[in-house]
């Protein structure tokens, strides 16, 4: 059985991430979407538990049942390669939106391969219609009251607006 881990901060998950994970199920038997517990690049808007719950709802909302049934969503702490080994995954899935993503993704792929030579990284080119999307911009637009309904699933919209209302 071919298992892949799709690791990320997913704060919040966007239609770009969902496009990548659903296309990955065409290649892998199972895809474990790994939610990093403490993303360092910015303060997380959604807690780890919220991100996991929102992603599970988003997968159920947006993916056909045959696809959703092969996607697991789990939180992880520590190294991605350790999470891959624990999940029995021999592939890491990542999305590439533009050439600007390439440099850091190449570095991560080489580093992960050095740490775990048995685990390879497979890249998906994010669908053109989602290639402008970023979680950071979604957070910023939402914080200023903008409409992110075309960028993220409805469950994410609901969670972001509940967060703004302090719920």
Q: In this complex, which beta carbon is closest to ligand PNS, that of residue 63 or of residue 108?
A: 108
Smallest distance, ligand PNS to C-beta of residue 95, A: 9
Peptide bond connecting 52 to the previous residue in cis, omega within 30 degrees of 0:
no
- Residue 148 CA to residue 78 CA, distance in Å, equals 31
Query: Quick one: DSSP state of residue 128?
Result: G
Smallest distance, ligand PNS to C-beta of residue 93, A: 10
Q: In this complex, which beta carbon is closest to ligand PNS, that of residue 41 or of residue 164?
A: 41
Q: In this complex, which beta carbon is closest to ligand PNS, that of residue 9 or of residue 155?
A: 9
Smallest distance, ligand PNS to C-beta of residue 80, A: 4
Q: Which residue is nearest to ligand PNS (CB)?
A: 8
Smallest distance, ligand PNS to C-beta of residue 30, A: 18
* Degrees, nearest 5: CA angle 86-90-51: 60
Burial of 94-119, coded b for 16+ CB within 10 Å and e otherwise, reads: bbbbeeebeeebeeebeebeeebeeb
**Among 9, 17, 51, 159, which one carries the catalytic annotation?**
17
Measured on CA atoms in the order 117, 119, 125, 130, is the torsion positive or negative?
negative
Tell me which residues touch ligand PNS (CB under 6 A): 7-9, 36, 39, 41, 79-80, 108, 111-112
Q: In this complex, which beta carbon is closest to ligand PNS, that of residue 38 or of residue 65?
A: 38
Cα atoms in the 13 Å half-sphere on the side-chain side of 99: 0
Catalytic (active-site) positions: 17, 41, 97, 135
């Amino acid at each position: 059985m071919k298992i892949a881990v799709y690791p990320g901060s997913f704060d919040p998950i966007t239609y770009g991430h969902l496009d990548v994970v659903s296309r990955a199920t065409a290649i892998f038997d199972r895809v474990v979407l790994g939610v990093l517990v403490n993303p360092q690049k910015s303060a997380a808007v959604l807690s780890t538990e919220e991100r996991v719950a929102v992603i599970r709802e988003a997968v159920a909302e947006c993916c056909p049942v045959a696809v959703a049934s092969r996607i697991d969503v789990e939180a992880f702490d520590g190294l991605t390669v350790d999470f891959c080994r624990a999940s029995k995954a021999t592939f890491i899935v990542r999305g590439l939106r533009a050439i600007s993503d390439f440099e850091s993704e190449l570095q991560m792929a080489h580093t992960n391969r050095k740490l775990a030579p048995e685990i390879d990284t497979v890249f998906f080119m994010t669908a053109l219609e989602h290639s402008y999307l970023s979680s950071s911009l979604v957070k910023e637009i939402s914080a200023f009251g903008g409409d992110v309904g075309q960028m993220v699933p409805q469950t994410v919209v609901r969670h972001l607006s509940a967060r703004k209302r302090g719920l």
